[in-house]
Amino acid sequence: MNDRAKRTEWFLEDRFGLFIHWGLYTIPARGEWVRSFEKISNQEYQPYFEEFNPTHYNPKEWAKLAKAAGQKYAVLTTKHHDGFCLFDSQLTDYKSTNTPAKRDLVREYVEAFREEGLKIGFYYSIIDWYHEDYPAYGDRQHPMRDHEDFKNKTVDFDRYLEYMHGQVKELLTNYGKIDVMWFDFSYDDMTGEKWKATKLINMIRGLQPEIIIDNRLGGNIMSANPEVYAGDFYSPEQIIPPQGILNEAGEQVPWEACITLNDHWGYHAKDKNYKSAKQVIRTLVECVSKNGNLLLNVGPDAKGIIPTESIDILAEVGQWMDRNGASIYGCKAADLPKPEWGRYTQKGNTLYAHVYDRGIGPIYFAGLKDRIKKARLLADGSELHVSTPWMAERYSDESGAFITLSGARLPDDNDTVIELELYE
C-alpha cells in the first residue's frame, strides 16, 4: 500500500466532516470575502480586530454538535484570506490573543474536538490580504488590487513565504497531532513552487508524518506521477464530481466535496437560503456512492454562535446517521449501475440500497437475482424478503430481484436504506 493510501485510510473510513469558517468578517456579517468585494483596506477593517470578542464561543458545544451529526473530523479556519490568525502566532500581532477575546481560539477548538474523539483539521489560507509583503496591486482579488497607493509599492514575497511557512510550522508544532492540513488556494501564477511548496511539504511531512493534505498548493493530483505537493485528496467545491475522481492512470483519487449549508462559508446575516437535511443526507450518500467524502460547512457568528438553522439541519442529519451510519462509514461505490429509485453504497459483501423513490409495487434490484443472502431495513433491523410477487412474475428476467416494502410511502422520506448481504 503506498504512502498516500496509508495516510488516507482513516479518511475513507470517516467520510463525513465539519468545515468551520470563522473570523473577523463575522462582524460586518457579509461573508468572508467582504474585504475583497468591497475593497476594504487594512485600516478600514481594523475596528473589527479591536472589537472581536466572541463571548459565547464554546467549542465543546460545537464538538458535541458535530459528533451528534455523525461527523468524524473537523477543519477550522486558522487564518483566512483576511490574514487574521485565530491562534497565538509568535510571527504576528494580528491574532485573536490580541483582540478583546484574549484567547487562542484554535487551541480551544483542538482540545474540545479531540476530547469528543473527532480528528483535527486546520484550514490555512496561503493568500493573505493583510500582510505587507503579499502582492496587492494587479492581483486578481486583493482588496487593494487597483488602489493607486499600492501601484508602486515593492513587496518582499520571500519574506511573506518565510512568514507563511513559519506559521504552518507553528500550527503543526504547538497543537499536538493534526490530521488534516487544508490549504486554500492557488491561482494564476500563484501556485506550486511560487509558494516554495516542495520545501513546505517536506517540513510538514517531517513534523506530522501521518497528516493528509489537500490539493490546493498546486500541482496535478490527477497525474499518474503527481508533484510531492499535489496533495493527498482532491477538493471539489460546491459540486459533486459527476463520475467521482480517477487519475490519468484510471486509479481512484481520494476526494472530499466541501459544501456550504446556505450560500456563504463565513457568517452572512442575511443569507437564509439553507439546504434541507434531506439534501445534505443525499449529498453525503452521493459523495460516498462515488468514493468521496463530504466536508459540510458552518459559519458561526461574531458571538461564536452557530446559526440555529445550521444546528437544526445537523441535528436531523445526525438522527439519520445514528440509524444509517453503517451505509456511510467505510463505504464506497458499488459495482452496479445507479438504480432508478436512488443510489448504492457498499462495504465488502454488504450493499446498501438508498431508496429515495417509493414508486409503485416492489422495489426492483437489477442484476441481483439470486445474489441476496439477507435483506434488512437498516434503520430498525427489520427483516425484508426477496421474492417475486404475482404482479412482477412476468418481469422477473434473468438478472433482477424484487423486495416488497409495505405501504405506499417510504419509512424514511429522507433516505430509506435497505441493507443487502450478498453471497460471496
Closest among 402, 390, 410, 289 to 343, alpha carbons compared: 289
Least separation in angstroms between CB 197 and ligand FHN: 18
Least separation in angstroms between CB 344 and ligand FHN: 28
Least separation in angstroms between CB 335 and ligand FHN: 31
Least separation in angstroms between CB 17 and ligand FHN: 12
Is 130 or 265 the residue whose CB approaches ligand FHN more closely? Answer: 265
Q: In a 3-state reduction of DSSP, which class is residue 120?
A: strand
CA dist list (Å): 144 to 33, 40, 367: 13, 8, 60
Is 184 or 415 the residue whose CB approaches ligand FHN more closely? Answer: 184
Is 184 or 227 the residue whose CB approaches ligand FHN more closely? Answer: 184
Residue 330, all three cell numbers: 467505510
Least separation in angstroms between CB 185 and ligand FHN: 5
CA dist list (Å): 400 to 257, 327, 335, 360, 387: 33, 22, 15, 16, 11
Distance separating the N- and C-terminal Cα atoms of the chain: 24
Residue identified by cell 438478472 is 399
Least separation in angstroms between CB 403 and ligand FHN: 40
Least separation in angstroms between CB 69 and ligand FHN: 19
Return the exposure string of 204-218: e unless at least 16 CB atoms fall within 10 Å of the residue's CB, then b. bbeebeebbbbbbbb
Is 49 or 265 the residue whose CB approaches ligand FHN more closely? Answer: 265
DSSP one-letter code for 99 = S
Residue 124, all three cell numbers: 490555512
Specify whether the CB–CB gap between 113 and 66 falls below 8 A: yes
Task: Give all strands (DSSP E) within 134-228, no chain letters.
Answer: 180-184, 212-213
Is 31 or 339 the residue whose CB approaches ligand FHN more closely? Answer: 31
Helices (H), 157-301: 157-173, 197-207, 277-289
Is 77 or 291 the residue whose CB approaches ligand FHN more closely? Answer: 77
Half-sphere exposure of 386 (CA within 13 A, CB side): 20
Is 113 or 124 the residue whose CB approaches ligand FHN more closely? Answer: 124
Least separation in angstroms between CB 141 and ligand FHN: 8
Is 185 or 274 the residue whose CB approaches ligand FHN more closely? Answer: 185
Least separation in angstroms between CB 302 and ligand FHN: 17
- Chain residues in the site for ligand FHN (CB under 6 A): 32-33, 184-185, 237, 258, 265
What phi-psi label fits residue 192: left (phi over 0), alpha (psi between -120 and 50 degrees) or beta? left
Return the exposure string of 113-143: e unless at least 16 CB atoms fall within 10 Å of the residue's CB, then b. bbebebbbbbbbbbbbbbbebbebbebeebb
Nearest position to ligand FHN, beta carbon: 265
Is 258 or 405 the residue whose CB approaches ligand FHN more closely? Answer: 258
Specify whether the CB–CB gap between 376 and 383 falls below 8 A: yes
